[in-house]
Structure 1
Amino acid sequence: MDNIAYTLRLLAAERSASQQIRDRIELVWTGPEVTGSQSRDTSVVVRELFSKAKKTVLISSFAIDKGEKAKKLFHVLAERMDANPELYVQMFLNIQRPHHSEVAESVLLREFAHTFRRDIWTGERLPEVFYDSRSLAVDVKQKSSLHAKCIVVDEESVLITSANFTEAAQERNIEAGVLLTDSATAQALRLQFDSLVSHKILRPIPGI
């Protein structure tokens, strides 16, 4: 009987641990929903993450909307920044060189900074925005893209997703991701970006 009781206690502990892990991981989805789906909507999760941010937000995206679509995506975070002077926001964005263009990198960065302030961000306080200088290389053999799509909030919550910061990706496309409540993962992901910044692989965009 003692062995049976011990085994039952082990099984109960294992199930409890498994449930705790499941509780920290949620499926995040954009696209058609089917009966029995247990996923959460991407745009809802993003707004929730922005609205609860207290100290830090890290955003990485390959593509980003402009105009009213962008302002709709970011207005919650922009308002949060203006209301909370302690909130620090970093954005890591891909900047593409136009096809066959050999325009100086400084010109492309100046144009992007102007577009960001005019057509993307609505708040008074601006986030710190970074880019991968390799994405602006003239030589296609050296060119690369900043393709990661993720959000890290307060080094506690992490959204890793296929969805860019575009209306289509967050509301219409078929996109999949996971929301993790795990400080170790959040800190590790932030460290990845911080290390690239410290090694000047990711650089701040002047004028933002």
Structure 2
Amino acid sequence: MYSKDLLNQISAIANEVPLHLIKLLAANVEGMTVDNWFYARNQVVQSMPQPNLRAQVGQLLDTWHRENPTLTPQSLALALLAAAQTADQRRRSQSTSLVWTGPTSQGPALRRTDQALLQVINTARQYLLVVSFAVYKIANIRTALVKAAERGVTIKICVEAPEPSEGKMTYDTIKALGKSISKHATVYIWPKDKRPQTDDGKYGSFHVKCAVADEELLFISSANLTEYALTLNMELGVLIKGGPQPRNVTAHFSRLMEDGVLVPVEE
């Protein structure tokens, strides 16, 4: 039975350290002679170029020596290489692209904001999270959301509500989304009693704008779900496919919902 600490440390190094350094580490580990442990350990640690990496490698070697001493140097080296190769392939599979609304330039062509958001919505097959400060005049987005619901996608939408403590909104966000959306999606707000407050009584604002499909495709933008933001304003964002970020954002908002920081509202 291998130590959980050892496995976690191998995984951490694989995810945080460049592949060429892990190859160097694995080669040095594979050549270790454990008869003189402290000398061999010091040689491997000192082969690493940065102090923080030397400390991390030292901790890994100590955990190996203490908790799994029967594991051969060759086996540990292979585990490091396998984990690093997997992490490197995952990083390479991730792609990012800039998204823009506004005047064009002579520079590289950028994706349009509405195109990127529609891609996220249309990609979703199981779960869709949409987060925005403001929502109005979004006919094409609303149509895409309806189609997602018809595909059986679970849709959760988080929006700002200026008067959440009374269950009201100064403009009707549910109406802006449309009955077809509110019927198929769960809409969440950040209640006033859950928000930080300054000494003079001002509350924090729900100013996030993002969308995530199936924990695989993440769109982060300065743009709200409004006609002007998607077509007229200057807005900048990034579209991220693959990697840990889409999953991490989904998990973060799920925890906020589970903890009651974000609460569902009735129409």
Alpha carbons 2:135, 2:224 under 8 Å: kept: yes
> What code does the residue aligned with 2:151 have?
N
Q: Specify which of 139, 149, 159 is matched with residue 93 of structure 1.
A: 159
Distance in structure 2 (CA, Å) of the matches to 1:49 and 1:61: 14
Distance in structure 2 (CA, Å) of the matches to 1:182 and 1:93: 25
> What code does the residue aligned with 2:236 have?
A
Q: Specify which of 123, 128, 151 is matched with residue 84 of structure 1.
A: 151
1:123 counterpart SS class: helix
2:204 matched to 1:144?
Answer: yes
* Equivalent position of 1:195 in the other structure: 255
Q: Give the aligned length.
A: 178
Deviations along 1:15-41, one digit per CA (max 9) or x if unpaired, are xx7xx7597010000101112323100
2:227 matched to 1:156?
Answer: no
Q: Specify which of 44, 63, 69 is matched with residue 115 of structure 2.
A: 44
* Equivalent position of 1:128 in the other structure: 186
C-alpha change, 1:183 and 1:206, in structure 2 (3 Å) is farther
2:98 matched to 1:27?
Answer: yes
Distance in structure 2 (CA, Å) of the matches to 1:30 and 1:116: 23
Alpha carbons 2:94, 2:242 under 8 Å: kept: no
Q: Once the 2 structures are TM-superposed, how far is the Cα of residue 74 of structure 1 from its aligned partner?
A: 1.6
Q: Once the 2 structures are TM-superposed, how far is the Cα of residue 182 of structure 1 from its aligned partner?
A: 2.0
Alpha carbons 1:73, 1:167 under 8 Å: kept: no
Distance in structure 1 (CA, Å) of the matches to 2:185 and 2:133: 17
* Equivalent position of 2:242 in the other structure: 182
Q: Percent identity?
A: 23
Distance in structure 2 (CA, Å) of the matches to 1:23 and 1:122: 36
Alpha carbons 1:155, 1:183 under 8 Å: kept: no
| Deviates most, 183-192 or 134-143 | 134-143
| Deviates most, 136-145 or 39-48 | 136-145
Distance in structure 2 (CA, Å) of the matches to 1:40 and 1:179: 9
2:256 matched to 1:205?
Answer: no
Alpha carbons 1:26, 1:178 under 8 Å: kept: yes
Aligned CA-pair RMSD: 3.0
* Equivalent position of 1:73 in the other structure: 141
TM, length-normalised to structure 1:
0.74
Distance in structure 2 (CA, Å) of the matches to 1:169 and 1:22: 30
Distance in structure 1 (CA, Å) of the matches to 2:239 and 2:176: 29
Q: Which structure has more helix as a fraction of its residues?
A: 2
Q: Show structure 1 runs of 5+ residues with no match.
A: 1-6, 11-16, 98-103
Distance in structure 2 (CA, Å) of the matches to 1:105 and 1:122: 23
Deviations along 1:130-172, one digit per CA (max 9) or x if unpaired, are 0000289899626221111000001000001101101111111
Q: Whose RCO is larger (CA < 8 A, sep 6+)?
A: 1
Distance in structure 2 (CA, Å) of the matches to 1:122 and 1:108: 17
Q: Once the 2 structures are TM-superposed, how far is the Cα of residue 71 of structure 1 from its aligned partner?
A: 2.8
* Equivalent position of 2:233 in the other structure: 173
Higher Rg: 2
Alpha carbons 1:70, 1:121 under 8 Å: kept: no
Q: Once the 2 structures are TM-superposed, how far is the Cα of residue 126 of structure 1 from its aligned partner?
A: 2.1
